[in-house]
Amino acid sequence: MTVTSTLKDRIENTELLAKVVPVEEAVKHVVHGNTVAISGFTKSGEPKTFLPALAWHFSQTAPDARITLLSGASLSEDVEGPMAPFIAKRGPYMSSPASRRRIHAGEMDFTDVHLSAFARNLMYGFYGDIDVAVVEVSRIRKNGSVVLTSSVGISAEALARAKKIVLEVNTSGPDYTGFHDIVLPAVHPHVGWPLPLVNVRDRIGNPYVELDLSKVVAVVESRTPDHPVPFKAADDTAKRIAEHVIDFLMRCREQYQWGKRLPPIQSGVGNVANAIISQLYDSPFQKIRFWTEVFQDGMLRYVEDDAKFEYASATAVSFSSEGRQRFLDMFERSKDRLVLRPMWLSNSPEIISRLFVIAMNTPIEVDIYGHVNSTHIDGSRIVNGLGGSGDFFRNAYLSIVHTPSTRKLRDGRTVSCVMPYVRHIDHTEHDIKCVVTEQGYALNMDIRSPKRRAQDIIDRCAHPYFRPLLHAYLDMAGPGDEPRATDMKVLQGWWADYDAATRAFPQNG
């Protein structure tokens, strides 16, 4: 095959250069029943050329083909959408409407696993053999080892465990050499070792991934840049939530004698997270560090300010179109201030605990005791998955769950995001130290009964409109340190009252 000079520049290994094929050829290495592990995390670094081509190939030649697809985290809909009909099993995270529909309908098996555990389970062999790894790379080095692109996710594990490897060399993006810190987790019966990482900026692995060249069955070129992820600007509610978060951090700073040193921050995605990152920039904290999953638009201004910012560690960068351009404009500067690691490491309990990370994530809803539903609407239908929220909440120095106190549904109802109980629990009361809404924040850090905590969460975090209903639940729930209503008739009445209230929520509320 004729190889473009752009591509040739990115492939320094002659053996692998000889394996360049059109993507239409490469996709034939994946057949019905295969388990395919791919690069990609929050729509970054996914095999953007291979997967749509594979979907087309199946649709033309094997419409009944079904595979198991394992990724780091979410893929863009341009990539996952066409593949969805051919995915029988999927893990550990997705945000694809096409996959979601099939998962809810029972046509696709989805397993929701802590991201750090997923990568290790994959290495342990719990998900069986990996037939094919498809990994986007920036560059193939002289000895055949590869430099990844805008995410790491499970790429290193996929390359280590797969029987066949397809490399997708992305020539549209920059060469990410120098951004990565790659280490594989130990596997029993090998001895596990302490991770020699004590600062966010420490690097403990290689900037490339080594692989067995004989396993590479195809190399393809991709000229598609990462699909942009729209930046969600903060609304008033998000801004008020962010103010409460900063208040809480300032209070902790005093109480626990942090001095100027804010512990490293993990922050999720969405408009509340963006508001927090924005207000944190204007806070008195200096030399801020991020130990997080995804480096996003809101963090770019930090890179420009050496007084405000020290270092960031993530498993992916994920930008809007504008953010991406800004990132490319200061690509070299970023390389000295940002490191991308495998997700088992970015989400490692060992490191999150050691670095005293402050974790912040948005749930679907919380309950009055501090239990958190991050994944399932009405308990039954998954949205995206829990991702790394459990890795961070559980092991954080401080764990903050932040949500608007209410959410307006498409059917016109306005529901409370603080409920008497939630129908799916991903994070228990034992893992949450602070609940924040635009109304205020309530703590779970003291020696205090769950019942007292509940009164506090209702009075400080719930929307005033819903507070009487929540107190009514607590009153009828009976005795105990953590009262839970069990009389089904009474409960039925409560839900009827609640449902009526969601319909009568004042429009200016």
> What are the catalytic residues?
293
Quote the least distance from Cβ 11 to a second copy, whole Å.
33
Nearer to a second copy, 284 or 478 (CB): 478
Instruction: Answer yes or no: are the C-beta atoms of 399 and 266 closer than 8 Å.
Output: no
Dist. CA 326–CA 323, nearest whole Å:
5
Which residues in 111-140 contact a second copy (CB under 8 A)?
Answer: 111-114, 117, 120-121, 124-128
Dist. CA 402–CA 249, nearest whole Å:
13
- Under rule CB under 8 A, residue 284 binds a second copy: no
- Under rule CB under 8 A, residue 192 binds a second copy: yes
Which residues in 211-230 contact a second copy (CB under 8 A)?
Answer: none
Each residue 2-41 as x (binds a second copy by CB under 8 A) or -, in order, gives: ----------------------------------------
Among 14, 188, 282, 307, binds a second copy (CB under 8 A): 188
Contacts by 354-357, CB closer than 8 A, 24 or more apart: 354/197, 354/198, 355/198, 355/199, 355/200, 355/263, 355/264, 355/291, 356/263, 356/264, 356/397, 357/263, 357/264, 357/265, 357/266, 357/291, 357/392, 357/395, 357/396, 357/397
Which residues in 231-270 contact a second copy (CB under 8 A)?
Answer: 255-259, 261, 263
Which residues in 410-429 contact a second copy (CB under 8 A)?
Answer: 421, 423-429
Nearer to a second copy, 23 or 265 (CB): 265
Quote the least distance from Cβ 71 to a second copy, whole Å.
12
Cβ-Cβ contacts under 8 Å for 500 (sequence gap 6 or more): none
Nearer to a second copy, 324 or 424 (CB): 424
Neighbours of 214 (CB within 10 A): 9
Rounded to whole angstroms, what are the CA distances from 33 to 53, 218, 492? 18, 20, 46
CA 3 to chain centre: 36
Instruction: Compute how many residues bind a second copy; rule: CB under 8 A.
Output: 94
Dist. CA 317–CA 137, nearest whole Å:
15
Each residue 301-340 as x (binds a second copy by CB under 8 A) or -, in order, gives: ----------------------------------------
- Under rule CB under 8 A, residue 430 binds a second copy: yes
Nearer to a second copy, 409 or 447 (CB): 447
Each residue 67-106 as x (binds a second copy by CB under 8 A) or -, in order, gives: -x-x------------------xxx-----------xxxx
Q: Is 264 buried (19+), middle (13-18) or exposed (0-12) by CB count in 10 A?
A: buried
- Segment interacting with a second copy, rule: CB under 8 A, options 2-10, 144-152, 192-200, 286-294: 192-200
Cβ-Cβ contacts under 8 Å for 265 (sequence gap 6 or more): 280, 288, 289, 290, 291, 292, 357, 358, 360
Quote the least distance from Cβ 326 to a second copy, whole Å.
32
Rounded to whole angstroms, what are the CA distances from 369 to 395, 440, 472, 487? 19, 16, 15, 19
Which residues in 359-398 contact a second copy (CB under 8 A)?
Answer: 371, 376, 378-382, 386, 390, 394-395, 397
Dist. CA 4–CA 225, nearest whole Å:
17
Which residues in 436-495 contact a second copy (CB under 8 A)?
Answer: 445-452, 477-484, 486, 488-489, 491-492, 495
Nearer to a second copy, 300 or 400 (CB): 400
Nearer to a second copy, 141 or 460 (CB): 460
Quote the least distance from Cβ 378 to a second copy, whole Å.
5
Beta-carbon-side half-sphere exposure of residue 503 (alpha carbons within 13 Å): 5
Cβ-Cβ contacts under 8 Å for 256 (sequence gap 6 or more): none
Nearer to a second copy, 478 or 509 (CB): 478
Nearer to a second copy, 238 or 418 (CB): 418
Among 186, 233, 500, 504, binds a second copy (CB under 8 A): 186
Quote the least distance from Cβ 48 to a second copy, whole Å.
23
Quote the least distance from Cβ 138 to a second copy, whole Å.
29
Neighbours of 93 (CB within 10 A): 25
